Structure 1
């Protein structure tokens, strides 16, 4: 990865729909160069081009950060199972009080409760959860600072 790749990524973070021609003009290279660079960045899984929806506008009115304490020998297994749950959007293994954190989006508080009891709580190795229900999302974006 070089500075040109970083510029291309930075432009796509600001506008994921930018055309190759637009990116080429902005970074001062040919459209073919941008096309080849993007193909490599995607094939090597350095970037993924995705849509970032607003869950509330799609009927998901309950979002929560879930901290999970796990049996020490089952951290990876629990994280993997949580990552495969339909309503988790992000799962990470961490240090500190919680072994795993997950971000979940669900239609309402009742479905969040069922999700916690019936899906997360049913995973072998889960010892304890603490749920932080979001009142308002102030920023929603992915990527790294330019």
Structure 2
């Protein structure tokens, strides 16, 4: 777990509003030096607490068949299955869940043929998947990653995730 100090929490909040905000602007708004912002920013980045990325509308860039796929799996193989899913290039989100599905996957495909190929040729090769349910995304009305930070002091900690391979 990592405890974020007040300045680090403010950096995260500002970047969630404007991921291109300069260190100078953040320093002015928070009331610290630009050097402090720079040092803390790179610590947050290096420790995997934040990632900086461009978020696109999948439909606008040619992914006309984004899908949400619910998976039921053999519980004894769940970690291995998660690791295999994270290595698939079309998969952009993998979460272990409670409820109807053991794992939820968000993946983006150019068209239904690419989606079908993924389901029949890639997903079906992963041993331990017992059931899948695929929902095609028809439109996206909100895609916001500025979810803020917990308000309670002790919620500034975050559980360290196991290191999974990058795809």
Q: Give TM-score scaled by structure 1 length.
A: 0.94
Gapped runs of 5+ residues in structure 2? 150-167
Gapped runs of 5+ residues in structure 1? none
1:33 counterpart = 2:36: yes
1:144 CA displacement? 2.7
1:61 counterpart = 2:68: no
Alpha-carbon distance in 2 for matches of 1:3, 1:139: 29
- Give the one of 77, 80, 83 matched to 1:77: 80
Higher helix share: 1
Q: How many residues align?
A: 146
Alpha-carbon distance in 2 for matches of 1:105, 1:134: 9
1:109 CA displacement? 1.4
Q: Secondary structure at the match of 1:10?
A: helix
Give the aligned partner of residue 129 of structure 1.
132
Q: Give TM-score scaled by structure 2 length.
A: 0.83
Dislocated runs of 4+, deviation >4 Å: none
| Range 53-62 or range 29-38, more displaced | 53-62
1:84 CA displacement? 0.7
Alpha-carbon distance in 1 for matches of 2:10, 2:103: 33
| Aligned-residue RMSD, C-alpha | 1.2
Larger RCO: 1 or 2 (CA < 8 Å, sep 6+): 2
Alpha-carbon distance in 1 for matches of 2:14, 2:75: 41
